[in-house]
Amino acid sequence: MSGIDIEIKEITDIEINDILGKKKDKKKKKGKEKEEKIINGWGKINDEITEKFMLKLKYNQTINSFFYFKLKSKENFFSWCIIVLSTFTSSLTLLTNLENEPFTHFFLSIQIALGLFSIIITLIAAWMKKQQFVERINLIDRYVQKITRLIEELDVHLILMPTDRLSYDDFKKKYHPQITEYLSTSPSISPKEWKNTVYTITRYYPEIISQDGVKTNKLWPWYRWEKGKDKKIIRDVTHFGENIMKTYHSQKCCSCFYRKFTLEYLDDDEDINNKNKGKEGEGFISEEESFY
């Protein structure tokens, strides 16, 4: 091989390496562009931030909505007691119009019964006012309605294509102050009321926690929200439900008879996961699939 041929070969090798290097650089740039793709101000990171907001809003909505109906049922019960006692009092008052006593000390018995009913009615009404049932019910009702509306609006935004949404800057101006307000001004609930509410949901309403088994619908903090090393969202079960069950029964006088309950939402979650395993590769849309 002559010197000219060697030089030509070296030049050709250099050109090939340059071309291959440029192709690799282009692939890297395309990969970065794909990762950093922003549409209408929306990107994968902004979507994830909004999802985190929604998890906390949904938790506040669930606790307050559940507590609202529990408080409402208490208020209805005591209101009904006042109505029943007032009816008895009115009926007994009519008996005082009798001219003759049916038996000895009849009128005295009526007066004593009227006095007792009046005292009980007064005490129940005073206790209800002290507990502020009506004020708290109205406050929680307004809060739940507003936060439910906000959650639905955010959910619709995430469902829409990024091109059909508000720009992210407009979205922040419109919704971030509302999110901050509803997360920071949640109606006050005592620790005992909160624990009782969370325990009831954990023990008797697993469908509220796991719902349809879709990752985005699982309720935090029963299910955590965390990004793994592969940048995929992890929504596995936390110890929150188990801890609530243990600590709730430890406060009761019958804690020595406590037995470990099965957390029903775990069974639902396992069943759904087993079904989904069989559906992999059949053309179903992956939960990790996004617009970006």
Q: What are phi and psi of 39, to 5 degrees?
A: -125, 120
**Residue-wise pLDDT tens digits, 55-111:** 999 999 999 999 999 999 999 999 999 999 999 888 888 877 777 777 778 888 888
* Helix ranges, the chain (H): 3-35, 44-95, 106-131, 133-159, 168-184, 191-204, 206-210, 240-250, 264-278
pLDDT of residue 264: 57
pLDDT of residue 261: 58
Task: DSSP letter for 164, please.
Answer: G
Distances (CA, A) of 122 to 17, 66, 118, 132: 94, 29, 6, 15
**Residue-wise pLDDT tens digits, 18-32:** 554 555 555 554 544
Round to whole Å and give the CA distance between 252 and 231.
Answer: 43
pLDDT of residue 32: 47
Q: What's the gap between Cα 149 and its chain centre?
A: 14
Three-class SS state of 159: helix
| Residue numbers in the chain where pLDDT is lower than 50 | 2-11, 16, 20, 29, 31-33, 255, 271-288
Round to whole Å and give the CA distance between 156 and 63.
Answer: 22
Task: DSSP letter for 257, please.
Answer: G
